[in-house]
A and B are shown apart, each in its own frame.
Chain A
């Protein structure tokens, strides 16, 4: 058990809708990263938050946005859902972001867009 919890575990949406995914980070961790993972592939970095500020972003369009709260929990928002957004969304918390630190992953939210 990593101490990182994600909700919901599964979600079904239709094309064009909006979705919010939530992540509670491990106690003492101030950095949260979000990833999109297609079946059988490695996760793709979406963005990272450090102390409530976006601290890096991968190659995802602006309709993917996020927030980090003072307690370091985080949200991933996706607007105007597309079929290709169907994937497992993972969040990971860590004690820093400079590289080499251990990432603690949640079990993910499986999003299906119909």
Chain B
């Protein structure tokens, strides 16, 4: 069974702070995605990374895929209240995606 552990599980910060969320596994994934889910909604895709060592930027969000394709990180610069939500990493491959345990982020004014 493939597992994706995310840390931290909860994060409450002030507007303007930086943060990093980690997604770790002992398994190799052919691709890894990050989703954000807001209350009452389904998850929405933020990014897909497929190459070991790959770095992708989406405005204030920076995503990195580990060289060995077993881990990933999400860094948010100057967090804003609109970044509040549940962040999920998802390991791809085959027909059974593996979701991470989730990181609940709250950004306060």
Which residues from chain A sit less than 8 Å from chain B, CB to CB?
A: 2, 4, 33, 35, 40-45, 48, 50, 55-56, 58-59, 90, 92, 97-103, 105-108
Contacts and interface: CB of A to CB of B under 8 A. Distances in A.
Nearest to B97: A45
Interface of B: 1, 4, 6, 30-31, 33, 35, 40-45, 48, 50, 86, 88, 90, 92-102, 104
Given A41-B102, A42-B100, A99 B42 contact: no
A90 B95 contact: no
Nearest to B31: A100
A108 B42 contact: yes
A48 to B, nearest CB: 5
B42 A105 contact: yes
Contact of B33 (A50, A100, A106, A108): A100
B42 A107 contact: yes
A99 B45 contact: no
A43 B96 CA distance: 12
Contact of B95 (A97, A102, A103, A108): A97
A100 B98 CA distance: 11
A101 B92 CA distance: 8
Contacts of B86: 40
A106 B102 CA distance: 18
